[in-house]
Amino acid sequence: MPEVTVKNLAKTFGDNSVLRDVTFTIKDGEFFTLLGASGCGKSTTLNCIAGLEQPTEGSIAVGGRPFVDAGAGIFLPPEERNLGMVFQSYALWPHMTIAKNLALPLDIRKVPKDKQRTLIHDALDKVGLAALSGRYPHQLSGGQQQRVALARALVYSPTVLLLDEPLSNLDAKLREQARAWLKRLQEELGITTVYVTHDQDEALALSDRIAVMEGGNMIQIGTPHEIYEKPAAPAVAAFVGRCNFLTGKVVSVDGTRHTVLLDASGEVVRVDSDTRVPTGDSVTVAVRPERLEVVASAETPAGVNRLDTQVITSSYVGSRYEYDVRLGDQVVQVLSGNAGLAGDVALVFDPGHALLYADRVELPEDQRDLLTVTS
């Protein structure tokens, strides 16, 4: 079974520590995504699985077969790993037809010519391009070239598919179509897939599980739902989707209910959290814009948190209204169903819709320092 096991992976380039201690297991047939900002070590992790980089420490095994084990001095070269890889640049040979491009990896594996014809046809058929096998890459659209690159990675039946930002060269519309198509294909083939992206929407839409990386570490591994609804750290909440952070101090705790005095406005809010934080400790309350609502000041519903705020800007964004509201010296973003509010409004949210993190986090640029805002 092609389960991928990565243990205590570390990689340094000179004195630059790019991977610190990365451990994860990918199940057979799973679509697993490495997500994070540029430079966090996603590609290096993928390249270590592919054998294009050699880790400084740690081990990788696929289906129980050791690919690399730094401690034991094991390193299997890339060509012996039988993995399919697609990069952001499709790297097709321009002077060769599509069929010839697909024949190359088969030639390397010494597959007989008659068998090659069937395999090439089948691989192109999987990506819906069997009719175009005689064309050259420049005679195909970007989206079609990307499918050819995928067909080339599938033609020799790899045990695992490794994809490094394969959709980033496509324009926004095509990218969304390609995303749906890739997801369907991966499910049909049931092939274990490791996907690298910095695009959170792509990660949420495609993955069975996502590993969020930061500074060479994995900060959370979970299903898209877990990553979005229960981010393990403020950094995850900020990177995946949008999030407001309100710093403060716990003033009382009753079971899971924490009452927090906010730094920004001196008001208190209640937050239900399984993470217990003792009274007196500094905390950060995180709430997504779509979990907040703005209402006219007189209309506060019962049982929710209510904060006095003023509208700074509002804009219509298609299905909803986006408000920036002022809470003391901080900006809070709200996605609301309520139109046309201005001036003094009440910001409301359910105590169960906020997350609580121990410690005060550094506020993101766009929420900080309202003193310069004059509206």
Ligand X SMILES: Nc1ncnc2c1ncn2[C@@H]1O[C@H](COP(=O)(O)OP(=O)(O)OP(=O)(O)O)[C@@H](O)[C@H]1O
The distance of closest approach from Cβ of residue 40 to ligand X in the complex, given in angstroms and rounded to an integer, is 4
The distance of closest approach from Cβ of residue 22 to ligand X in the complex, given in angstroms and rounded to an integer, is 11
The distance of closest approach from Cβ of residue 313 to ligand X in the complex, given in angstroms and rounded to an integer, is 32
Question: First CA to last CA across the chain, in angstroms?
Answer: 61
- Choose among 324, 334, 337: nearest CA to 370: 324
- DSSP letter at 300 equals P
What is the Cβ-side half-sphere exposure of residue 131, based on CA atoms within 13 angstroms?
1
Q: Are strands 31-35 and 209-214 parallel, antiparallel or unpaired?
A: parallel
Identify which of residues 41 and 231 has a Cβ nearer to ligand X in the complex. Answer: 41
Whether 159 and 2 have beta carbons less than 8 Å apart is answered as yes
Identify which of residues 90 and 245 has a Cβ nearer to ligand X in the complex. Answer: 90
The distance of closest approach from Cβ of residue 284 to ligand X in the complex, given in angstroms and rounded to an integer, is 26
Identify which of residues 89 and 252 has a Cβ nearer to ligand X in the complex. Answer: 89
Identify which of residues 214 and 267 has a Cβ nearer to ligand X in the complex. Answer: 214
The distance of closest approach from Cβ of residue 8 to ligand X in the complex, given in angstroms and rounded to an integer, is 17
Identify which of residues 212 and 348 has a Cβ nearer to ligand X in the complex. Answer: 212
Largest Cα–Cα distance in the chain? 79
Identify which of residues 26 and 129 has a Cβ nearer to ligand X in the complex. Answer: 26
For 185, the enclosing helix (H) or strand (E) is: helix 172-189
Q: Are strands 344-349 and 293-296 parallel, antiparallel or unpaired?
A: antiparallel
- DSSP letter at 354 equals -
The distance of closest approach from Cβ of residue 46 to ligand X in the complex, given in angstroms and rounded to an integer, is 8
Whether 257 and 339 have beta carbons less than 8 Å apart is answered as no
Catalog residues that contact ligand X under the rule CB under 6 A. 13, 16, 18, 36, 38-44, 198
